[in-house]
Amino acid sequence: MTRKYFGTDGVRGRVGDPPLTVDFAVNLASAAAKVLAPAGGSVLIGKDTRLSGYMFEAALEAGFIASGLDVLLIGPLPTPGIAYMTRHFGCRFGVVISASHNQYQDNGIKFFDADGGKLTDDAEARIEHELTGPPSTRSSNELGRASRVDKQRKFYQDFCISTLPQGLTFDGFKIVIDCAHGAGYKVAPRILTDLGAEIVPIGCSPNGRNINSGCGSTAPQLLQLTVPGVRAQVGIALDGDGDRLVMVDHLGRKVDGDQLLYVIAKARHEAGTLRGPVVGTLMSNFGLERELRRLGIGFERAAVGDRYVLARLRETGGTLGGETSGHLLTLDLTSTGDAMIAALQVLAVMRQTGRSLAELTAGLQLLPQVMVNVKVARRFDPTKTPAIENARLAAVQKLGDRGRIVLRASGTEPLIRVMVEAEDHREAESLANSLAEVVAAAGA
């Protein structure tokens, strides 16, 4: 069954343009209720801080209540927090209203199953099939009820803290926390404060339009200036929905998902607690793979997207994986990628070893990697376009075994990502720009 609306991470797009309209949200709620909760029950709705979140929250609430489901409204909370609270409340499923790292003009709707996991492709296809019919409205005595559960977010904060070794605190740590004016702006600072850290918050004043704007994991420049400026030990940057993590060491240097994965994997390997291979993606730096294998740690690659990393971890029995962008999965601790839980694991290694983040990442030598995002008029598969494929093959032949080339379509935006990895940065940049020109011409 093919999917028309669901991408790699739910339904996403520009607010007001199909499918991100109020009518569609009501229909989607009705269709999801039929597939995920045919016998009734409750559903949890959470969101980030976008202005349009109020609109979609109300539309989904109406659709679910009309379908006979009870609705729990928890307000702004990181996506992984909604996954956890879906399990905590025993809901049939959970819904997140967010477009993650995108700007406020975009929004999205994604679902978690009763176990806090992402829906299968088949489940999403079945929901889309139900969209062909009109939304349901039950009789008055069969309608659901709505209630606010905002104060219950404390359970998620306590859960995050429980993933640390008992008794471990961050007393004496000065941490700059950048929440991207997004879903983590309340819980993330409170978690760190509860653990004894002195915090310097930035990106914690959402106004509905400033989410991911010049801040957060996709724009950590302010964090990079602030950390050494206030003489903090480390900086933490979340994205708008709190599932993506980038950190900054005390020197103001960005530490990406590959480096953070290395820190956690190495510490777990030395402690004897690492299970299965570490799983990255096609975009993970070859330097990470090379260093992990040198340490005797298995490494495998999945397709880009944390759902595919998750699937590969389950297939291999692994518990640790992630993406360069900062989606990190620790399946022995939680069911989905969680930026705060991943950050806590890195902070714990710093505390237990007495080493700075700069020292912990010093053993990993990343290859120069150049990424060019090419805007296109429509989404398409670049590997099936002859002109692009011919250019790629020529570049691969020129590069030889000195690096890698990956071309892929974004699952959430009309972009083709061109990535070239080489031992020489100038060569990587030259090849990436040449390929980007071919892609741009083909996608015009």
Q: Is 426 exposed, middle or buried (0-12, 13-18, 19+ CB in 10 A)?
A: exposed
Instruction: State the alpha helices, DSSP H only, in 94-220.
Output: 121-130, 154-162, 187-194
> Using CA atoms, how far apart are residues 148 and 150, in angstroms rounded to an integer?
6
- Is 162 annotated in the active site? no
- The DSSP symbol for 119 reads P
Closest alpha carbon to 113 in 126, 100, 101, 103: 126
> Using CA atoms, how far apart are residues 193 and 182, in angstroms rounded to an integer?
18
Q: How many CA atoms lie within 13 A of 202 on its CB side?
A: 22
Q: How many CA atoms lie within 13 A of 379 on its CB side?
A: 11
Q: How many CB atoms lie within 10 A of CB 409?
A: 19
- Please give the angle made by the CA atoms of 81, 261 and 106, to the nearest 5 degrees: 45
The catalytic position among 52, 67, 100, 217 is: 100
Q: Which residues contact 326 (CB under 8 A, 6 or more apart)?
A: 217, 239, 244, 245, 246, 256, 257, 260, 339, 342
> How far from each other are the two terminal CA atoms of the chain, in whole angstroms?
30
For 46, 187, 241, the CA distances from 411, given in Å and listed in that order, are 22, 29, 17
| Active-site annotation, residues | 100
